[in-house]
Amino acid sequence: MKKISETIFVCNNCGNEFSKWSGQCGFCKEWNSLKEIKNYELRITNKGKNSKREKVEVKKLSEIKEEYNTNQNIFSTQISEFDRVLGKGIVRGSVVLFAGEPGIGKSTLLTQLVGKVGGLYVAGEESAEQINLRVRRLGLNAERFDVLETNSVEEIGQILERTNNVYKIVVVDSIQTMLVESTITGTGSLGSFGSVNQIRESTFRLIELAKKTGVAIFVVGHVTKEGDIAGPKLLEHMVDTVLYFEGEKNGDLRILRVSKNRFGPTDEVGIFQMSDVGLSDVRNFNLSGSGEAKIGSAITIVMEGTRPMMVEIQALVTESFAPMPTRVFSGIDTNRGRLLVAVAQKVLNMPMYKHDVYVSVTGGIRLDDTGCDIAILAAMYSSYKEKELKNKIVLIGEVSLLGEVKKVRGWEKREKEAKAMGRTVPIIYSIRELKNLV
């Protein structure tokens, strides 16, 4: 393998590479997102000009044995929500990027995974003692739980080669604390921890290791709100599977999403609840409280992946004494919120220009589903009128600019979930009908 050192430009947003700088990424069209990376090593499989080329061969698909995706190459995480997100389970020899904000619970869930399946935990951030404490506190099996304290990818390689397939999984926590030693001792330094080059190079080596040994490697990546260049975005196209662990830190709900999966679907989510004994599977998460109607509250059913979930939306609409009324939306898109306020003013004649509006979603989840529009409006209307909505109803529907209410994707599933929860879904065609529901 020949290496050519050169300078490349990598997009902060989508991770694509370019040989020239430009103000806008040619792929994802983001502005000012290209960052320069010096001495990036280009890998070329064929030897240099003068050496003899290996014989090039075409492969016949009919002669290739199905290596992955056969059941013996997939094993369960023994955590049902985790399996659900991965498709069937963990694929041998695959590399999974496990990304999320610091403190969200990545180390907790992956500690639980190693505790259940057995494997090696590579601690780049914490000490073996800290991990031991966590394992004990979570009541996990410490028998098949090994810890390697290191920041060196070469040492991980040594262990995997020496132990020869005793591990089914290896967790590397985190990629930002790993480096490839040979690249910092020789000439042409690739930079220190957390630099783009180290993150890339380390990931590259880990992928090679996974393919060679058949061990499945989970790579932890911290994401920051600013989405800096050393973030996991850069690695997305290298790994087989990309998982994002999300949630509101002061809430207890966590959602595991899959944004790329070479071995399964990408529309599933896993739902977990954080407690002092770690993360537990939540099959039917109900965020709607006891269910008694309250002023300023509306219940809706949101689709998380292919699964319906009941949530409560709360709104507070109060007279404003400021020249510009306040608009605070948490858990819903601000533009969507503003649009609904405008529709309320125009169609329901609510004098929103002189009212402050606060909207929040319980459980700290983020709604990205227009099916919740009507419930948001209903909560605002209820608060404005100071009357509760009718008892035991669930509001589902997208609101148009003219105040019409439309059916949304997953309607049958949502309706079924509402029935299962002992509620009905009134069919309404215009937000004017909200008047009949208070």
Binding site for ligand TYD (CB under 6 A): 100, 102-108, 134, 138, 274, 276-278
List phi, psi (to 5°) of 435: -60, -30
Spell out, one character per residue from 219 to 248, where the chain touches Mg ion: x when CB under 5 A holds, - when not: ------------------------------
The SS3 call for residue 294 is coil
CB of 406 to ligand TYD, least distance (A): 39
Q: Does 297 bind Mg ion (CB under 5 A)?
A: no
Q: How far apart are CA 414 and CA 385, in angstroms?
A: 28
Q: How far apart are CA 193 and CA 37, in angstroms?
A: 15
Contact of residue 307 among Mg ion, ligand TYD, none (CB under 5-8 Å per partner type): none
Nearest to ligand TYD of 84, 134 (CB atom): 134
Nearest to ligand TYD of 281, 356 (CB atom): 281
Q: Does 288 bind Mg ion (CB under 5 A)?
A: no
CB of 215 to ligand TYD, least distance (A): 21
Q: How far apart are CA 382 and CA 297, in angstroms?
A: 7
Q: Does 107 bind Mg ion (CB under 5 A)?
A: yes
The SS3 call for residue 66 is coil
Nearest to Mg ion of 130, 424 (CB atom): 130
CB of 358 to ligand TYD, least distance (A): 28
Contact of residue 198 among Mg ion, ligand TYD, none (CB under 5-8 Å per partner type): none
CB of 108 to ligand TYD, least distance (A): 3
CB of 125 to Mg ion, least distance (A): 6
Kind and range of the H or E element at 169?
strand 169-173
Q: How far apart are CA 381 and CA 432, in angstroms?
A: 11
Q: In what order do the strands lie in the sheet with 17-18?
A: 17-18, 2-11, 34-44
Q: How far apart are CA 152 and CA 111, in angstroms?
A: 20
Q: How far apart are CA 401 and CA 305, in angstroms?
A: 26
Q: How many CB atoms lie within 10 A of CB 394?
A: 21
CB of 134 to ligand TYD, least distance (A): 5
Q: How far apart are CA 114 and CA 144, in angstroms?
A: 8
Contact of residue 254 among ligand TYD, Mg ion, none (CB under 5-8 Å per partner type): none
Nearest to Mg ion of 107, 383 (CB atom): 107
CB of 177 to ligand TYD, least distance (A): 12
Nearest to ligand TYD of 92, 106 (CB atom): 106
Nearest to Mg ion of 107, 203 (CB atom): 107
Q: How far apart are CA 397 and CA 406, in angstroms?
A: 5
CB of 312 to ligand TYD, least distance (A): 23
Residues near 287 by beta carbon (within 8 Å), at least 6 away in sequence: 253, 309, 310, 311, 312, 362, 363, 365
CB of 128 to ligand TYD, least distance (A): 15
Q: How far apart are CA 155 and CA 144, in angstroms?
A: 20
Nearest to Mg ion of 107, 382 (CB atom): 107
CB of 105 to Mg ion, least distance (A): 8
Nearest to Mg ion of 107, 261 (CB atom): 107
The gap between the terminal CA atoms of the chain, to the nearest Å, is 72
Nearest to ligand TYD of 26, 102 (CB atom): 102
Q: Does 213 bind Mg ion (CB under 5 A)?
A: no
- Whether the CB-CB separation of 148 and 121 falls below 8 Å is answered with yes
Q: How far apart are CA 271 and CA 246, in angstroms?
A: 10
Nearest to Mg ion of 13, 107 (CB atom): 107
Half-sphere exposure of 329 (CA within 13 A, CB side): 20
Contact of residue 271 among ligand TYD, Mg ion, none (CB under 5-8 Å per partner type): none
Nearest to Mg ion of 12, 107 (CB atom): 107
Spell out, one character per residue from 178 to 207, where the chain touches Mg ion: x when CB under 5 A holds, - when not: ------------------------------
Q: Which stretch binds Mg ion (CB under 5 A): 30-38, 99-107, 162-170, 381-389?
A: 99-107
The residue among 311, 260, 254, 305 whose CA lies nearest residue 79 is 254
The residue among 209, 205, 203 whose CA lies nearest residue 230 is 203
CB of 98 to Mg ion, least distance (A): 10
Give the residue nearest to Mg ion (CB): 107
The SS3 call for residue 180 is coil
Contact of residue 274 among ligand TYD, Mg ion, none (CB under 5-8 Å per partner type): ligand TYD
Interacting residue ranges for Mg ion, rule: CB under 5 A: 107
